[in-house]
Structure 1
């Protein structure tokens, strides 16, 4: 009887030890997994898009060169006037006459609040701008800039600054062969190391989805990347991921969509 009892105890201990060995250490949670922005527009051929944007820039300047020259002239004239006035006794005499120095002393002596000081000085500066012709120059400059922005909107480029920024970004991508990238994934927690893998691409065209798969990958922080030039037709390509760590696997379906935009052939022309 005692022998049987000892045998049962030994067997139970052995079973418990084996069971403990099967327990996987750590954890993996992905129920809250997401990308803050889950869609990114890209182009199939970055060099062609860069060339298109440069043509737009040339056409836009051609259509607005006179206006842009006017803006540059007004900016230069305004800078020169302000530099001249900064060292002018006439300007600072007028500043004193309007009470500027007294207001400064009141502020530093805590006789007036910062808000009151700002209001009074702004009022004086406005009177000085009117007196010395700065206001008229600023109004002409703002009117010309507004006209330029309106023309840019009418010609479909938003603004010249946006266009220049796009050109610079494409040029950098091409020069350094930078891929298209998503942000890092959020809401994934687990025992390190975590291994991300792209396991599927969803698109209306199955064969194109398979081709897109050859251009896409994922980094260790969940950042999905696509090679700069993707040899696929325009459309939506939605990426599914797998996350693994020791003993655990999670599937994240339809997490991020890359929209390959169709090439735009039109260029701007002066009306």
Structure 2
């Protein structure tokens, strides 16, 4: 009889242990961002349309990021310098003229034409189920009036 009770206790302890492990909430997936970067982290965009209004100034794909799919990307914030205007940039974002999709950042020509000349350094938010990270100052657009060859042509025609 003692042997039976001993086996019963062991079985009960095993069942309780299994239930306690099974009821523990385990986080879903993973998101590693320590190595996330753009190989080329700056793109020059021009206010004056060169390719038409639907043209987009694009980053390359984000590299060094890994995680459980699907991973979502979104604009987080902007820092401005060299004459940039934060309010104008945020308006461009609100109007959907800055896209952050699949790790690529695109500034549409229509958005670039609304921005003052300057440097716009962007931070993005990446997330998946249960995880989120902010990639601070990860990419910059330098907005210029027009390509330099067009500036040279305009200068020489004014002389």
TM over 0.5: yes
Q: C-alpha separation between the residues in 2 aligned to 1:224 and 1:194? A: 15
Residue number in structure 2 paired with 1:239: 122
Residue-by-residue CA offset, 1:54-111 (whole Å, 9 max, x unaligned) = xxxxxxxxxxxxxxxxxxxxxxxxxxxxxxxxxxxxxxxxxxxxxxxxxxxxxxxxxx
2:109 corresponding residue in structure 1 = 228
Deviation of 1:269 after TM superposition, in Å, equals 3.8
d(CA) in 2 for partners of 1:219 and 1:270? 42
- Give a deviation string over 1:122-158, Cα, whole Å, max 9, x none: xxxxxxxxxxxxxxxxxxxxxxxxxxxxxxxxxxxxx
Higher strand share: 2
- Segments of 5+ residues of structure 2 without an aligned counterpart are none
| 270 and 261 in structure 1: CA distance in 2 versus 1, 3 angstrom threshold | closer
- Does the CA contact (< 8 Å) of 1:201 and 1:212 recur in 2? no
Task: Go from structure 1 to structure 2 and tell me whether the alpha carbon gap of 1:270 and 1:42 turns closer, same or farther (over 3 Å shift).
Answer: closer
Does the aligned pair in 1 maintain the 2:123–2:137 contact within 8 Å?
Answer: yes
CA distance in 2, matches of 1:28, 1:190: 4
Q: Which protein, 1 or 2, shows the higher relative CO under an 8 Å CA cutoff with sep ≥ 6?
A: 1
CA displacement at 1:225 relative to structure 2:
0.3
Q: Distance in 1 between matches of 2:38 and 2:92?
A: 20
State the superposition RMSD in angstroms: 2.6
Residue 260, structure 1, aligned to residue 140, structure 2: no
Q: Are positions 1:208 and 2:85 aligned together?
A: no
Pair 1:212–1:203, CA change in 2 (3 A) = farther
Gaps of 5+ in 1: 47-169
Is the alpha carbon distance of 1:228 and 1:17 closer, same or farther for their aligned partners in structure 2, counting shifts above 3 Å? Answer: same
> Match for residue 30 of structure 1?
33
Separation in 2, partners of 1:242, 1:232: 23
The total of aligned residue pairs comes to 138
TM-score (norm 1): 0.45
* C-alpha displacement of 1:16: 1.6
SS in 1 for 2:34: coil
Counterpart position of 1:141: none
Q: Map 1:68-217 to 2 at 5 A.
A: 170=50, 173-174=51-52, 177-204=54-81, 205-214=85-94, 215-217=97-99
The structure with the larger Rg is 1
> Separation in 2 of the partners of 1:217 and 1:270?
37
Which structure carries more helix by proportion?
A: 1
